[in-house]
Structure 1
Amino acid sequence: MQRDIIITADGSLTIHLPEWNEQYHSKHGAIQEAYHVFIKQGLHHLCHPELVSGSYPVSQNEQSNNISILEIGFGTGLNAFITLLEAEKLNISIDYYGVEAYPVLMNEINQLNYPQELNAQNEASTFTKLHEVFWEAPHKITPHFSITKQNRFFSEIKEKESYNIIYFDAFGARVQPELWTELIFKNMYNALKQNGILVTYSAKGSVRRAMENVGFKVERLPGPPGKREMLRATKS
């Protein structure tokens, strides 16, 4: 399948699949989407709600300086890299698990401009390291961030009460509907700890209903640039 590197509206790059007319990140801004969906409405909401405008208070026993995150669709590593940078800023420890069935090639990774666009040029080698470390083993990248990359299909996730947050960043239901089913979201529900959250850029009605049918409490939230809404699901 052909894979092209394209520029998105905020200046950051992403990978475009012409055959599917699908991108790894929003064409309206890869970095903007990652920050809004996964950092603001995910990480900040759970750990530092005071950083999220209009967020409801999170009780003290729900807050933690040790967070476990599962990313569904490790892809370009953008979400992991931004989360690493945020862990340093917020002084929290994160164990990050990135699941990817079809890893991106290093020659594609080397073309991406995320360290430059994030004003993190000094961390460019860290971004590369996220991709160079071996799969299926934990790696301490910084004092605040460890990563384990897992080369497997999303349907193979069978963990129980293991994660505080799930970044659900699979390709869209238009091209891969099998990734947005009740079966998948039941696995996600089981994998989350109590009061854990799942955030995704999608706001499709069928996705929301699948989440609710397996037990999630689902909120519609304002979406990133180019999308009216997104979803956040809580295991409660």
Structure 2
Amino acid sequence: MPIKIITTEDGSHSLFDEELNETYHSTRGARGESMHVFIKEGLEYWRAKNNTDQIRILEIGLGTGLNAFLTAEFCDQFNQDVVFTSLEPFPIKKELYENLNFYNSDEEKEILLDIHTSKWEDEVQLTNKFSLLKSQSKLEDFHTDQTYHIIYFDAFAPSKQPEVWSVNNLKKCYSLLESGGVLTTYCAQGQFKRNLSAAGFGVETLQGAMGKKEMVRGLK
């Protein structure tokens, strides 16, 4: 099978794509990386600076569903409404998502399974505070009238999918963000930071996750 489950150093699962020779998360810790890059430096950062009843998030790369799952957990913990839109042109197979170990209870397992089994292209209320709209499309093909407060940019690395990280795609992300919105990503490649800047973003280089030196947050 070209994609297989692996266990990262913090005990949480990730996936390894043999064709791309790339993991879906840091091998140092899938859950730890997602918590740091997307929840702490994205969701928590934006929420601390803004007061709104509902937060709209766009994710580039649903993948294992970990970021969506952790966001749903956050919603429950902090009583925060989130409308979560996730793009994924290549959904993972049932035998993979059914065996991921992100959850600690049967209730949490149901949320993870619902993330993967919910209908595509329709907004679905998965919990009292978390709704999900999955679109099986690439960023460059995605069309919406919606704007977002936060973008989780979690595509495969620029060395594997350079087209996803193009200036044009980043300009699209900029246009999709509300004023004051943020784009957060694990990537701190120099060319990516230059592309972010060319697209109009203010660029912050932050401490990376799980021993990684750097990560990046783009500000509108």
What is the TM-score of this pair, normalised by structure 2? 0.96
* Gaps in structure 1 of 5+ consecutive residues: 49-57
- The Cα of 1:18 is off from its aligned counterpart by 2.3
Select 1:87's aligned residue among 43, 53, 75. Answer: 75
Could you say which residue in structure 2 is the equivalent of 1:168?
A: 153
CA-atom RMSD in angstroms: 1.3
Corresponding residue SS for 1:98 = strand
Q: Percent identity?
A: 38
Could you say which residue in structure 1 is the equivalent of 2:38?
A: 38
Output one character per residue of 1:106-163: Cα deviation in whole Å (capped at 9) or x when no partner: 11101110003xxx44321121111111100011111100000000111113446610
Corresponding residue SS for 2:113 = helix
Could you say which residue in structure 2 is the equivalent of 1:51?
A: none
Could you say which residue in structure 2 is the equivalent of 1:100?
A: 88
Residues 161, 96 of structure 1: CA spacing in aligned structure 2 closer, same or farther, 3 A cutoff? Answer: closer
In the TM superposition, 1:1-236 aligns within 5 A as 2-48=2-48, 58=49, 62-116=50-104, 120-159=105-144, 162-235=147-220
Q: State the distance in 1 between where 2:19 and 2:120 align.
A: 28
Corresponding residue SS for 1:152 = coil
What is the TM-score of this pair, normalised by structure 1? 0.90
Q: State the distance in 2 between where 1:160 and 1:222 align.
A: 34
Residues 122, 160 of structure 1: CA spacing in aligned structure 2 closer, same or farther, 3 A cutoff? Answer: closer
- The Cα of 1:28 is off from its aligned counterpart by 0.8
Q: State the distance in 1 between where 2:132 and 2:70 align.
A: 13
* Gaps in structure 2 of 5+ consecutive residues: none
Output one character per residue of 1:31-54: Cα deviation in whole Å (capped at 9) or x when no partner: 000000000000000113xxxxxx
- The Cα of 1:174 is off from its aligned counterpart by 1.0
- The Cα of 1:91 is off from its aligned counterpart by 1.1
The residue type equivalent to 1:128 in the other structure is: L
Q: State the distance in 2 between where 1:19 and 1:234 align.
A: 34
Q: State the distance in 1 between where 2:19 and 2:63 align.
A: 18
